[in-house]
Amino acid sequence: MRPFEKLIAAIRNFHPRTVWASIVRQGTWFNLDVYHYLGIGTAMDAQERSKLQVLELEAALGRMLADDSFAPVHGFLREAVKSVGYWRDEFVRSAARLGKDAFRPVLKEAIPLWTACAAEYGCGYGFRDRVANHFQQWFDDPAQIAVFDLVEHALADQWTACFLANLEKLLASVRPEAG
């Protein structure tokens, strides 16, 4: 899923006046906050892309919990299972914040996009689809690659901070001291 797909779907489904109200406020309207939907889309994308790694780690921990030879560390393993869920949730929450914050500056400056979308109002049936198409074209424009690169790199940093660094700390907490 691309981060803006949730926004495009919302534009196509909300009441036309709600879409228009958001457009004339450059995406900030309580019933249709463009940046909120970009945050949701970024979070959904991050969750989907990290799902396999999280599931594999949870499965490995589950296998160790089922193995009696690991009985001396079952308490630690149960805590690890809880921690993995917390780390995943924190990663997804940070991805949502990232999606909101990363797209806001470039969209606020995208005056031609907002103007083109506003001009569609009153032009008859299909207003929401035309607006959604303007957004789709804007996001597909190679000129926006910088914001997508920013999001991609920031997501990698968040994965490291929220998940990998915490996993390393957890493993270090049980690592025997060197001699």
pTM of the model: 0.89
The burial of 83, by beta-carbon neighbours within 10 Å (0-12 exposed, 13-18 middle, 19 or more buried), is given as middle
What is the three-class DSSP state of 141?
A: coil
Contact 19, 11 (CB under 8 A): yes
Q: Indicate the length of the chain as a whole number.
A: 179
Closest CA to 35 of 90, 87, 110, 88: 110
Task: State pLDDT tens for residues 14-39.
Answer: 999 999 999 999 999 999 999 999 99
Alpha helices in 71-144 (DSSP H): 74-108, 111-119, 127-140
Reading the chain (179 residues) residue by residue, the pLDDT tens digits are 689 999 999 999 999 999 999 999 999 999 999 999 999 999 999 999 999 999 999 999 999 999 999 898 888 899 899 999 999 999 999 999 999 999 999 999 999 999 999 999 999 999 999 999 999 999 999 999 999 999 999 999 999 999 899 988 888 887 666 55
CA distance 160 to 154: 10
